[in-house]
Amino acid sequence: MSKQPGSAYFLVDTKAKEIRTTLSVLVDNEAGVLARVIGLFSGRGYNIESLTVAEVDHLDHTSRITIVTSGTPEVLEQIRHQLERLVPVHKVVDLSTETPGIEREMALIKVAGAGEKRVEAMRLSEVFRARILDTTHSSFVFELTGSQQKIDAFVDLMKPLGLVEVSRTGVVAISRGAEAM
Amino acid sequence: MSGPQDPTGAEIVIRALKDHGVRHIFGYPGGAVLPIYDALFQDEGIEHILVRHEQGATHAAEGYARSTGKPGVVLVTSGPGATNAVTGLTDALMDSIPLVCITGQVPTHLIGMDAFQEADTVGITRPCTKHNWLVRDVRDLPRIMHEAFYIATTGRPGPVVIDIPKDVQFKRAPYVGPSNIKHKTYQPRVKGDLKKIEQAVEMIAAAKRPVFYTGGGVINSGPLATQLLREFVRTTGYPITSTLMGLGAYPASDKQWLGMLGMHGTYEANLAMHGCDLMIAIGSRFDDRVTGRLDAFSPNSKKIHVDIDPSSINKNVRADVGIVGDCAFVLEDMIRLWKAKQLKPDRSALSAWNMQIDGWRARNCLAYKQSTDVIKPQYAIERLYELTKGRDTYISTEVGQHQMWAAQFYRFEEPKRWMTSGGLGTMGYGLPAAVGIQVAHPGSLVIDIAGEASVQMTMQEISTAVQFDLPIKIFILNNRYMGMVRQWQQLLHGGRYSHSYSEALPDFVKLAEAYGAVGIRATKPDELDDKIKDMISVNRPVLFDCVVDQNENCFPMIPSGAAHNEMILGDAANDPAVTEAGKVMV
């Protein structure tokens, strides 16, 4: 007891192994729904590594939120149940552990430079199959789609070549096979 | 399309309230709700109880809801009206109390302009409600009103907020009644999984050292759940304990009853939880005040957990069998399967278990040293119980030592008779809650067991009680300290009583008189009974200043993140094992 004087709470540092998971959340596209989801994560101390949201069915007014999060298996189970408690949430699917899913992220990457560096940036963009969306005599804007790791790798390669800024969408995901979520 | 014959938004609110059977609302007017107050003025069917502070309205509505099983309705204005309601909304969320709170809002064209008495009410109340709405279009208002009642009262009940801008209250739209509400995403599950229930009853029959651990969910589920729980517990003959929120679901006079469990629970209840081989948790949520140290919580038991909220299962404690469903439905299935399978408890194991429990009971953990000069707070509650037990009595409390003593010494035989702030621990809950209870039960005896610190947080509501002829009794255990704070400072902070003593208390008798209520003071044990009788016989609000021992501590206590088997008992308990050793643990 001497380890935690002055508190009636059970104070302990848990060092359980955290796993990363991608959740797909189908919600009614009503005012404040994103705030409910984000507020849930911040209020209960859950991690958000990335979050994307957009309307997916205009007639049904449904949006799909993709959240990459991490936690112990117990925490991940809680996150899922807590999301399901939100009134506008239709369904929550774990695309990492429950059903196998595919993940993609898109990034816009601005690189400025001249001479050898400019040529090298262009050459590497071909290797990564990035598209050039905008160019001037001294800059490129690349569009790159792929896994988070692929984008991380490309961004790292651009750093010595004149990387100016990066804008990323965060992960979107969908399950494999014929079934809807 | 709407026409001049259609009702206004304000009239829609009143019509919807009446369609949902609302007879009383608790509120406080202000600029942004004036149209609704105007509609209320022109209507006969709903009685409005004017409180003195919006927090009081929410707690009164909670008391009303918990003592009736019906939703409590609150009506407040924008800005400060809404922010003052936040404490009560949070309290209701933590304790699963159905509230429908209607807040006024500045007109839609002023939202976001930092208008007078503007606050982002849906933003502020999002984390403290089950759901909330900002009504931007009056045509949505009837649907939202009906959804609000549906969501507040079904599944795991909770508070909802409907924020209605002033212009929406004036605009007209057709009214649509509340028939066939089926929400497209919100569909709580009430029937439990039969396979799991079957597995559970077989585990229950096979148990050697079982214990029922029930909570507020049984009471929220309604009278049928209470009746079925009693039937099932008696059929099995197993011991039963309950959380603070669950008191009254099982009669305290029954021999299978162990008393409340948890931080200030009984020795027998906590040791039964610690030593059991099967825990049957029904409508309880393994709160930290119940479990104590989690890694030492009931280490050798299998756990069956029945809860209507899937997120409660496996949140704090892993369940071996988790059943999502309404207690009444699940208990009904359990009893049916128990009978169909002709299951019988293991009588010899049970009698050995009961012997062990009787040994724990013999410690007499609630014993305290009686005094002839000064009123012991435990004695005051015991006398209050003895002098009121035959009556139609409802008890509310504030938060602190007096609350725990009330839970330990007032014995509840029926559900919905005990209203206390459990999850949030809101000082100032009890007095306004008593107002709400008395509104719902005009002829009953309603007592708020209070502390002198808590009661001052919402004292102004005594004025509400006087205005509406609500003869509530505020029974203050006055020890001049924030007693629980002082107790922790004594036990956990080296006796440094930092800011826990009330240097300047009001004279509660004179205060009562100033409010137009009745003041009574008792200072000696031998005058207590007569004074309590006086209090009961007065048909007016009473502030009872019961001056008690300043230094009494509330025992048993599970200290500092300890386990159930590491309780400290008071000096008066028969406790050969845990005297000096117990104190060292603090």
Interface predicted TM-score (ipTM): 0.91
Which residue carries 């929410």 as its tokens?
B58
Element (H, E) at B532: helix B525-537
Angle between helices A33-43 and A73-85 (to 10 degrees): 150
**B286 annotated active-site:** no
Question: Mean pLDDT in each 10-residue stretch from start to end of chain B (586 residues)?
Answer: 88 98 98 98 95 98 98 98 98 98 98 97 98 98 97 97 98 92 86 98 98 98 98 98 98 98 96 97 95 91 98 96 98 98 96 97 95 97 97 98 98 98 98 98 98 98 98 98 95 93 96 98 98 98 98 90 86 58 36
Contact B293 A5 (CB under 8 A): no
**B54 annotated active-site:** yes
Which residue carries 């509650």 as its tokens?
B381
Other C-beta atoms closer than 10 Å to the C-beta of B39 total 20
B295 touching A (Cβ < 8 Å)? yes
Q: Are B397 and B453 in contact (CB under 8 A)?
A: no
Output the pTM of the full model.
Answer: 0.95
Up-side HSE of residue B72: CA atoms within 13 Å toward CB? 35
Spatial CA neighbour of B230 closest among B245, B250, B216: B250
Q: Please list every residue in chain B whose beta carbon sits closer than 8 Å to the beta carbon of residue A78.
A: 311, 314-315
What are the respective helix, strand and coil percentages of chain A, to the nearest 5? 30, 40, 35
- Residue-level pLDDT at B582: 39
Structure tokens, A50: 């990335």
B148 touching A (Cβ < 8 Å)? no
**B484 annotated active-site:** yes
Q: Are B48 and B13 in contact (CB under 8 A)?
A: no
What's the per-residue H, E or C state across B290-350? HHCCHHHCCCCCEEEEEECCHHHCCCCCCCCEEEECCHHHHHHHHHHHHHHCCCCCCHHHH
Which residue carries 């999984």 as its tokens?
B193
Spatial CA neighbour of B542 closest among B510, B508, B517, B506: B517
Strand residue runs (E) in B130-256: 131-134, 159-165, 210-214, 240-242
Contact B134 A31 (CB under 8 A): yes
- Cis omega (within 30 of 0) for bond into B556: yes
- Rounded Cα gap, residues B249 and B216, in angstroms: 8
- Residue-level pLDDT at A143: 98
Nearest to B288 among A9, A28, A31 (CB): A9
Q: Are A103 and A171 in contact (CB under 8 A)?
A: yes
**Main-chain dihedrals φ then ψ at residue B374, nearest 5 degrees:** -125, 145
- Rounded Cα gap, residues B314 and B318, in angstroms: 4
- Rounded Cα gap, residues B184 and B565, in angstroms: 47
Residue B581's closest chain A neighbor by CA? A1
Amino acid present at B12? I
- In total, chain A counts a number of residues equal to 181
**B550 annotated active-site:** no
Contact B292 A32 (CB under 8 A): no
- Residue-level pLDDT at A15: 73
Contact B560 A90 (CB under 8 A): no
Q: Please list every residue in chain A whose beta carbon sits closer than 8 Å to the beta carbon of residue B309.
A: 85
- Chain A interface residues facing chain B, Cβ-Cβ under 8 Å? 1, 4-12, 28, 31-32, 35-36, 39, 43, 74, 77-78, 81-82, 84-85, 87-90
User: Please, is B281 exposed, middle or buried when counting C-beta atoms within 10 Å of its C-beta (0-12, 13-18, 19+)?
Assistant: buried
Report how many helices (DSSP H) and strands (DSSP E) chain A contains, helices first: 4, 9
- Residue-level pLDDT at A13: 67
**Active-site choice (B117, B199, B356, B460):** B117
Structure tokens, B85: 């309601």
- Residue-level pLDDT at B571: 85
Which ranges of chain A have pLDDT less than 70?
1-14
User: Please, is A91 exposed, middle or buried when counting C-beta atoms within 10 Å of its C-beta (0-12, 13-18, 19+)?
Assistant: middle
